[in-house]
Copies of this chain bind each other. A is one copy, B any other.
């Protein structure tokens, strides 16, 4: 408890404490001071481990991604389509687990070791299906985008439920007016986070249908008329 020259915590302790706060109080509540307090440290002590709050945030993203089983996604024991689904579902679940994790991911670059490893795994997998390196890269990009987009919609839906208050009183007034958006209203249940079958899986399947058409797994028919 006294000043001592030896480290009293580790980088992962700090990241874990930050996740605890993220989960319980949301992204806005994640502060250097708060994390330090949770560990019984002074705010300035954190700067011994991370050069800035942003560096801590990036480390959190990396920890989030580190739990993805890239080895399983590279194991040709099962079909590529199934492996993509498993990987995508895992990534989506990781982001959905923590309140405000999507803001976290969006708040900075995705160039950490694990982020790049994920991309590498996806490209390699599509190439193994017979795609060119260029198209495989585009396909990997599309899959990453799809998962991130779904996570963004997940997050928007979640915070929507949480905010029942009068906070939304301005600049729109009669929003949820039932009659103005009948199709959205009628299909809301199909698209919510816990819908079964999930819109997430449906969309990913259609995307993979389009991507894999003409490859080993495809029907050798609708091969892309694109570059």
Contact = CB atoms under 8 A, between A and B. Distances in A.
A202 B111 contact: no
| Copy count, this protein chain | 2
A203 B199 contact: no
A44 interface: no
Nearest to A160: B109
A149 B144 contact: yes
B153 A187 contact: no
A171 to B, nearest CB: 4
Instruction: State the majority secondary structure of interface residues on A.
Output: helix
A110 B62 CA distance: 27
A139 to B, nearest CB: 7
Interface residues of A, number: 90
A106 B134 CA distance: 30
Contact of A55 (B112, B168, B200): B168
Contact of A106 (B156, B191, B224): B156
A144 B156 CA distance: 12
B134 A187 contact: yes
Contacts of A149: 144-150, 152
Interface of A: 11, 27, 49-52, 54-55, 58-59, 62, 102-103, 105-113, 116-117, 119-120, 123-124, 127, 133-139, 141-142, 144-150, 152-153, 155-157, 159-160, 163, 166-172, 175-176, 180-184, 186-187, 190-191, 197, 199-200, 202-203, 205-211, 213, 219, 221-222, 224, 226-227
